[in-house]
Amino acid sequence: MDSALTLIGLPVALGIIMLGLGLGLTVADFRRVAHHPKAAVIALVCQILLLPALCFGLVLAFGLPPALAVGMMLLAASPGGTTANLYSHLFGGHVALNITLTAINSVLAVFTLPIVVNLSAGYFLGDGRSLGLQFDKVLQVFAIVLVPVVVGMLIRSRWPRVAENLNRPVRILSVVVLVAVIAGAVLGDRDNLADYFVSVGLAVLAFNVLSLAIGYGVPRLAGVERSAAKAAGFEIGIHNSTLAITIALSPALLDDTQMAVPAAVYGIVMFFTAAAFGYLVNRWGARSATTSGEPAAT
């Protein structure tokens, strides 16, 4: 775990990914939340408070080993992933709201993620390895997550054409670097992968499905219109597994391969569950509109 690939590659990979996110954001994206205050507030409350509590209950119910339990909590504390924006676009969600929530969640995670992870480590590990709210750890997460986003936003603000030209190459580069780093870490622990998937797969699937259901259902129960509720559903149901994997594997942070396993499994499962969720929600919406005699909301 202390190899140059992990030590240097992980922060570089996440930094490039966050830079790519920043290249697609402007200050106006943060202002969009004013147009959907109810949906945004409900989504943020679900993301920050409800999901960690739900995940904690699932971890206890499934009786996961301590390292995997902390990995699950790390996943739950991670903000929505940028993949949520794509799914929201494909299935008629409010993409502008997704972008705003992704940006705000990425900033809030700098403060909320260390709290959830440190409390979880203290509870599940029970051997004095609690990370604590160490300033250097918080500063490292802040630097890895927020600084590249700000740099990307500055480039887009001052040189929009440069940002547009960089957007695709940056995304491709981030995927290449990340895949190389994760592959190296996985190969180093390949003998245990099957056991990890068996031990955490059902918990990850349950958490993913419940996250999607809560993200869509709670806003709808609160009277949020359908497209905004879809956006909230994808934002809450599709976590930034890349961030969770990076924090788990980085020697500067958690440096534990087992803690990265839930996020790695989740990163595969979510593509299928999110697609099924989008299809079912749209089909349910079309059926409801047909019954009421109104056009289907998107």
Residue 284 CB-half CA count within 13 A:
11
User: Which phi and psi (to 5°) does residue 149 adopt?
Assistant: -65, -45
Rounded-to-integer distance, Cα 294 and Cα 165, Å: 43
Consecutive H or E run containing 53: helix 51-62
Residue 88 sits at the vertex; the CA angle it makes with 27 and 174, to the nearest 5 degrees, is: 65
Cα end-to-end span (Å), the chain: 46
Taking the C-alpha atoms of residue 82 and residue 15, their distance in angstroms, rounded to an integer, is: 14
What is the pLDDT at residue 168?
78
CA angle 6, 12, 14 (to 5 degrees): 95
Q: What is the per-residue pLDDT for 182?
A: 61
Find all residues with CB under 8 Å of 258, minimum gap 6, and list them: 65, 67, 68, 71, 192, 196
Which domains are present in the chain?
Answer: 4-283 (1.20.1530.20)
Count the Cβ atoms, other than its own, within 10 Å of residue 7.
Answer: 16
pLDDT for 100: 77
What residues form DSSP beta bridges with 193? none
| Amino acid of residue 267 | G
Q: For position 214, what pLDDT does the model report?
A: 93
Angle (CA) 211-266-70 rounded to 5° is: 85
Q: What is the mean pLDDT of each run of 10 residues along the chain (298 residues)?
A: 52 71 72 73 89 94 90 89 75 78 77 84 69 51 71 87 82 69 62 72 93 92 88 88 78 76 84 88 71 51
CA dist., res. 170 & res. 140, Å (int): 22
| Spatial CA neighbour of 250 closest among 86, 43, 80, 14 | 14
